[in-house]
Amino acid sequence: MNDFYRQLLTLLDEGAPFVLCTVIASHGSTPQKPGSKLVVTGSGTLIGTIGGGAIEKQIVDAALALLASTSEATTTLDTHLTHELGMCCGGRMTVFLEKHAGAPALTLFGAGHVSKELSKLAVAAGFDVTVVDERAEWATAERFPGAALVVRPPDEVARALTGGPDAYCCVLTHDHPLDQRCVEALLDTPLAYLGVIGSRRKAERFRQRLLAAGFAKERVAALECPMGLDIGALTPVEIGLSIAARLVAVRRAARVKATARHLASV
């Protein structure tokens, strides 16, 4: 096994985000031929090469854009090296880019009954789950197998969250004012998904307060409340299932109805 594949396996083992770029076709004079590979990591580190120069810069820029995308996992670039990039080679290259983003990070604010069921499903679906609750008797490894636990005030943790294109947040605390504080802390954070549990009445109150606090209309509109797909869910297991299905739909960029007909509280 050569060093390229050793480094690639290390990235896969670590769950680090990267894009694998492969030359799949070439015509005329080109710096690399089909099968040549380049890995672009989330930090901009390069492993391998597809030829250097302007073509490699174009591919690196496209790979970084793909890593930042919340909806795209692959793309193909077909480039004439002279006409489009001013390179002297004169040929054409087609490069396939495939994103490997690792496990998406799901933070559950609140360790109540719905959160417990949602966490199990999300772990099984491949999310890297973190549960945040200041109540140590609720945030336990027995109740949340496979999840990381943070025993701190949820709004405090929400304010420190940096987010990202593979970051998902669900607010399900035991207290409506605490839900509000968490949402206010998260609303301007870059996230793939932000939702809060509650009824349509709660959702309307939240939106009115957020607009009154000066948050942009488009950010308020992006907040999902109620959370989950409309499956008529009533029990914590059913509600957790409806929310987990919605998170998978967002992850896979599926076109589905987002709203559910539940639930006033945890």
pLDDT for 55: 81
Mode of pairing for the β-strands spanning 148-150 and 92-100? unpaired
* Domain region containing 7: 3-100
pLDDT for 70: 66
In a domain, 166, yes or no: yes
- CA distance linking residue 182 with residue 107, whole number of Å: 12
Answer whether the bond into residue 31 is a cis peptide, omega within 30°: no
What is residue 253's DSSP assignment?
T
pLDDT for 83: 54
- CA distance linking residue 125 with residue 5, whole number of Å: 27
- CA distance linking residue 18 with residue 63, whole number of Å: 8
pLDDT for 261: 37
In a domain, 13, yes or no: yes
Same domain, 155 and 230: yes
Residue 230 vs residues 8, 68, 246, 254, 257: alpha-carbon distances, Å: 41, 29, 9, 15, 7
Same domain, 172 and 134: yes
pLDDT for 266: 38
Q: Which two tokens stand for residue 260?
A: 């559910």
Counting the structural domains of the chain, the total is 2
- CA distance linking residue 170 with residue 192, whole number of Å: 11
Residue 115 vs residues 111, 123, 125, 260: alpha-carbon distances, Å: 5, 12, 15, 16
In a domain, 147, yes or no: yes
Q: What is the CATH number of the domain that holds 223?
A: 3.40.50.720
pLDDT for 90: 63
Mode of pairing for the β-strands spanning 18-27 and 37-41? antiparallel
pLDDT for 54: 81
pLDDT for 199: 86
Same domain, 44 and 8: yes
Q: Which residues contact 25 (CB under 8 A, 6 or more apart)?
A: 34, 78, 92, 93, 94
In a domain, 264, yes or no: no
Contact, 209 vs 183, CB < 8 A?
A: no
**What pTM, to 2 d.p., does this model score?**
0.71
pLDDT for 236: 95
Mind listing the pLDDT tens digit of every residue in the chain (266 residues)? 588 889 988 888 777 889 999 999 888 777 778 899 999 998 889 999 887 778 888 889 999 998 887 667 889 988 776 555 555 566 788 899 999 877 889 999 999 999 999 999 999 999 999 999 999 999 999 999 999 999 999 999 999 999 888 899 999 999 999 999 999 999 999 999 999 998 888 888 889 999 998 998 988 988 999 999 989 999 999 999 999 999 999 987 755 544 433 333 33
SS3 140: coil
Same domain, 91 and 110: no
- CA distance linking residue 155 with residue 49, whole number of Å: 45
pLDDT for 82: 58
